[in-house]
Amino acid sequence: MTKNIYIFLLTLMSVQLTFSQQTIQSSGSKVKFKVSNMAFNTVEGTFNDFTGMVSFSPKDLNNSFFNVCISAKSINTENEKRDKHLRKEDFFYTEKYTNICFKSSKIKKTTNGYTAFGELNIKDVTKEVSIPFTFINNTFNGSLTLNRNDYNVGPNSGFMVGKEVDVEIICIINPIK
């Protein structure tokens, strides 16, 4: 009986070590975006304030997950006046909707890396998305294209702001020790 308890505890400890949550390194981790402006200019920016949980093991994708949020207030386009406007009600409404969050439901291996499937929540809208990504040297690098109108971001901006937003995610995690 004691031997069985010992084996059970060792197994539990190894599972816990293998699937420990990894912490996100704030320095270097960011979400970059590009969107057309007045059809002839491109605005680029970043969000760089991450929180959440990551548990990723290429050897066991069934137990891997992402539950990550970025602070909507951390938007930075290198233009203070524009950033203030993007935080207002007609765009991100950061007073009410403080975070943009992604929660994975499954992760699959692909020929070029992996794809995370899950729900992306921006403002008052949650939609299913898939994010193809690679994982090299404790760094996740993924990308996707969003229609900002699907998330009620700047719905009345007309031709001034393009509908399609290209998003690149760079998330560096601290290795499990």
| Digit-coded pLDDT (tens) for 128-158 | 999 999 999 999 999 999 999 999 999 888 7
17, part of any domain: no
Q: What is the domain count for the chain?
A: 1
Q: Name the 3-class secondary structure at 169.
A: strand
14, part of any domain: no
15, part of any domain: no
76, part of any domain: yes
- The token duo for 12 is 């539990």
pLDDT tier, 15 (very low <50, low <70, confident <90, very high otherwise): very low
Q: How far apart are CA 128 and CA 91, in angstroms?
A: 21
Quote the pTM value: 0.84
The pLDDT value given to residue 30: 94
Contact 170, 29 (CB under 8 A): yes
98, part of any domain: yes
8, part of any domain: no
16, part of any domain: no
Give me the CATH number covering residue 128.
2.40.128.110
153, part of any domain: yes
**169 or 38, higher pLDDT:** 169
What digits encode the pLDDT tens for the residues 70-120?
A: 999 999 999 999 999 999 999 999 999 999 999 999 999 999 999 999 999
The pLDDT value given to residue 37: 87
What digits encode the pLDDT tens for the residues 22-55?
A: 888 888 899 999 999 877 899 999 999 988 889 9
What is the chain's mean pLDDT, rounded?
87
Domain that holds residue 76: 22-172
- Which of 60, 35, 59 lies closest to 45, judged by CA? 35
